[in-house]
């Protein structure tokens, strides 16, 4: 064998990722992969002794690396695999991870493996098995390798009888994981993609074990409705076959928040004082809630619209949004609704949305969305998953009894589902405040200056930055702030809000270092 540098994606021999020649001094920090020959082995061994190279496998060295061994191996991993199993297929569980290690293991298949034992490398172990080489549908990888195509990887991961391995993960992810993959395929690709996988399965079935092939075929056919005898172990696929699919990613998000809320001490904040003290809170709540969504009126004009009934001829639909929100939050029959079940929540959302969007027939008042909606590139729950995600999400939060904590939970639930074409943010705040009013607690008003804090709290949960700690803190402070304002008269409340910079544009506030303050 002769010295052989690794060839990685987007590169050529003796070149790093930036395409610069090693000879130019711009070698990749991971160094070069070199396979020793009889004439070079001694020299490579000497380089290893003085720290200029290190041995990663029999006769395989990495020379000139500035990285730790496990980092350099990660960079050269595919090339190393190809040295021992030329043209191998990244298969089984590794196909589900796109060829990335699972718990420190990579699984490969080769029809005639020269080495049948595991290969331990710094940071990862490669485990081979005898099996077909590349089949139709497999995806080509760098270094002459392939990764199992969709139909093949489903078959390879179906559970089979046998004793589980010790001190290593099972190379098969299991039937439940396969069913979850089928559910995800149906969710994103629809029936056409399921049929394509069935067609691919027919092409390769003769190369794979019959039992797992038929297990996959039955489940794919069940999704298409042509087979009803399948009993899935996956809750996701079972729900889909029952006509009640849901968003498992959101379920994980809701479970994490529920766990956090259950471990968080409640801070009750009852709405103290006479009813007169809260007279103008519904108006300002409606005004700010619409302002957050871009329905911007001056506060005096909004008062004339919502309270006096003087609509804007130039912006009738916007005026109706403000008036309708005010009507909902000021009506004792609708501002203190506390749904006791997921179905009650669904009916409440439909009813409230019909009122809120009555002036916008193009927004399909009271009807759940039929197209997926987005905010800043963030995708909310898909239309056919909304109903069951609302139901199951509500059930996840059923153990949360503190009113503010339930308000936090329902606000996230409705926001993440985003069940309607428009008006979802306002509905989320209305539903959350209904839980607070039903318990005699202070409602939550989000003034304009606090808008970015509120949205950042929501985005933090959505993007997985914690379980919801910042979101809870944001709503807790907003409730405390709302309870500190005297809402008895419009004039007094308006004056205090101006002193506290509540109307200030949030971008200008951030640039100026201004934050929402409590009254002195």
User: For the segment 342-373, what is each residue's pLDDT rounded down to a tens digit?
Assistant: 999 999 999 999 999 999 999 999 999 999 99
* Same domain? 291 vs 385: yes
For the chain, what percent of residues have pLDDT higher than 70?
94
Q: Do the strands 146-147 and 89-90 form a parallel or antiparallel pair, or are they unpaired?
A: parallel
Please name which of 189, 193, 59, 175 lies closest in space to residue 119, comparing C-alpha atoms: 59
Does the residue 518 lie in any domain? no
* Same domain? 69 vs 136: no
User: For the segment 184-236, what is each residue's pLDDT rounded down to a tens digit?
Assistant: 998 877 668 899 999 999 999 999 999 999 999 999 999 998 777 888 999 99
Instruction: Judge whether 172 and 216 are in contact, CB under 8 Å.
Output: no
Whether the per-residue pLDDT at 467 is higher than 80: the answer is yes
pLDDT in the model for residue 376? 87
Does the residue 297 lie in any domain? yes
What is residue 32's three-state secondary structure? strand
The Cα-based distances of 394 to 220, 255, 344, 383, 424 in angstroms read: 30, 11, 10, 17, 17
* Same domain? 225 vs 287: no
Q: Give the single-character DSSP code of 69.
A: H
Whether the per-residue pLDDT at 10 is higher than 70: the answer is no
Does the residue 382 lie in any domain? yes
Does the residue 520 lie in any domain? no
* Same domain? 131 vs 56: no
Instruction: Judge whether 340 and 389 are in contact, CB under 8 Å.
Output: no
Whether the per-residue pLDDT at 9 is higher than 80: the answer is no
Kindly state the average pLDDT of the residues 251-256. 97
Kindly state the average pLDDT of the residues 99-121. 95
* Same domain? 148 vs 176: yes
Kindly state the average pLDDT of the residues 255-282. 96
Whether the per-residue pLDDT at 457 is higher than 80: the answer is yes
Kindly state the average pLDDT of the residues 19-47. 74
* Same domain? 78 vs 217: no
Lowest mean pLDDT among 10-19, 110-119, 251-260: 10-19
pLDDT in the model for residue 190? 64
Q: Could you list the residue range(s) of the whole structural domain that residue 43 is in?
A: 1-84
Whether the per-residue pLDDT at 93 is higher than 90: the answer is yes
Domain boundary among 245, 277, 296: 245
Kindly state the average pLDDT of the residues 426-452. 97
The residues facing 109 across adjacent strands are 89, 129
Does the residue 519 lie in any domain? no
Query: How many degrees, rounded to 5, is the angle at CA 326 between CA 324 and CA 327?
Result: 65
Instruction: Judge whether 224 and 191 are in contact, CB under 8 Å.
Output: yes
pLDDT in the model for residue 25? 40
Instruction: Judge whether 63 and 53 are in contact, CB under 8 Å.
Output: yes
* Same domain? 299 vs 446: yes
Contacts of 145 (CB under 8 A, 6+ apart): 78, 81, 82, 87, 88, 89, 90, 99, 108
Q: Give the single-character DSSP code of 225.
A: T
Does the residue 323 lie in any domain? yes
Kindly state the average pLDDT of the residues 404-411. 98
* Same domain? 280 vs 377: yes
The Cα-based distances of 199 to 166, 227, 244 in angstroms read: 36, 16, 26
Find how far residue 406's CA is from the centre of its chain. 22
Model confidence at 165, pLDDT cuts 50, 70, 90, reads confident
Largest CA distance in the chain: 95
Number of domains, the chain: 3
* Same domain? 200 vs 284: no
The tokens for 75 are 């960079």
Domain boundary among 245, 278, 313: 245
CATH number (domain holding residue 291) = 1.10.3290.10
The tokens for 257 are 């928040």
* Same domain? 468 vs 365: yes
pLDDT in the model for residue 191? 64
Domain boundary among 189, 215, 245: 245
Query: Residue 431: which H helix or E strand, with range?
Result: helix 424-438
Does the residue 236 lie in any domain? yes
SS3 letters for 465-480?
CCCCHHHHHHHHHHHH
* Same domain? 62 vs 116: no
Kindly state the average pLDDT of the residues 381-386. 95
Question: What average pLDDT is seen over the chain?
Answer: 91
Whether the per-residue pLDDT at 14 is higher than 50: the answer is no
Lowest mean pLDDT among 31-35, 82-86, 477-481: 31-35
* Same domain? 72 vs 197: no
Does the residue 439 lie in any domain? yes
pLDDT in the model for residue 192? 82
pLDDT in the model for residue 17? 33
């Amino acid at each position: 064998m002769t010295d052989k540098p690794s060839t990685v994606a987007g590169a050529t021999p003796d070149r790093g990722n930036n395409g610069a020649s090693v000879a130019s001094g711009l070698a990749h920090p991971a160094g070069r992969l070199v396979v020793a020959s009889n004439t070079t082995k001694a020299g490579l061994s000497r380089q290893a002794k003085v720290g200029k190279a290190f041995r990663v496998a029999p006769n395989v060295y990495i020379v000139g690396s500035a990285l730790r061994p496990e980092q350099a191996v990660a960079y050269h991993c595919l090339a190393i695999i190809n040295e021992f199993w030329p043209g191998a297929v990244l298969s089984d569980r590794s196909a589900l991870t796109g060829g990335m290690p699972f718990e420190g293991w990579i699984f490969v298949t080769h029809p005639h493996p020269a080495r049948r034992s595991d290969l331990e490398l710094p940071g990862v172990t490669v485990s081979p098995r005898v099996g077909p080489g590349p089949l139709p549908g497999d995806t080509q990888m760098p270094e002459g390798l392939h990764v199992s195509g969709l139909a093949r990887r489903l078959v390879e991961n179906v559970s089979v009888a046998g004793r589980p391995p010790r001190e290593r993960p099972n190379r098969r992810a299991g039937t439940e994981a396969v069913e979850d993959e089928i559910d995800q395929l149906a969710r994103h690709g629809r029936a056409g993609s399921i049929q394509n996988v069935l067609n691919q399965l027919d092409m390769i079935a003769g190369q794979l074990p019959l039992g797992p092939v038929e297990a996959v075929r039955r489940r794919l056919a069940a999704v298409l409705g042509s087979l009803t005898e399948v009993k899935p172990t996956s809750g996701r696929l079972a729900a889909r076959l029952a006509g009640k699919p849901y968003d498992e990613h959101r379920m994980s998000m809701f479970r994490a928040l529920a766990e956090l809320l259950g471990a968080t001490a409640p801070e009750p904040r009852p709405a103290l004082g006479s009813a007169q003290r809260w007279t103008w809170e519904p108006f300002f709540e409606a005004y700010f809630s619409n302002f957050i969504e871009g329905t911007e009126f001056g506060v005096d004009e909004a008062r004339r619209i919502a309270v006096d009934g003087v609509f804007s001829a130039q912006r009738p639909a916007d005026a109706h949004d403000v008036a309708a929100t005010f009507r909902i939050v000021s009506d004792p029959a609708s501002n203190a609704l506390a749904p006791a079940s997921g179905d009650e929540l669904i009916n409440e959302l439909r009813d409230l949305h019909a009122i809120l969007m009555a002036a916008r027939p193009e927004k399909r008042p009271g009807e759940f969305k039929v197209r997926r909606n987005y905010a800043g590139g963030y995708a909310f729950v898909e239309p056919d998953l909304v109903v069951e995600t609302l139901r199951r999400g509500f059930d996840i939060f059923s153990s949360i009894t503190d009113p503010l904590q339930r308000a936090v939970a329902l606000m996230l639930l409705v926001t993440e589902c985003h069940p309607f074409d428009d008006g979802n943010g306002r509905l989320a705040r209305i539903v959350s405040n209904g839980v607070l009013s039903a318990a005699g607690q202070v409602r939550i008003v989000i003034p304009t200056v606090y808008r970015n804090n509120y949205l950042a709290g929501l985005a933090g949960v959505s993007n997985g930055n914690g379980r919801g700690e910042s979101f809870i803190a944001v709503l807790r402070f907003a409730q405390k702030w709302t309870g500190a304002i005297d809402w008895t008269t419009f004039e007094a409340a308006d004056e205090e809000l101006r002193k506290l910079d509540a109307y200030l544009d949030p971008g200008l506030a951030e640039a100026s270092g201004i934050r929402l303050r409590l009254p002195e």
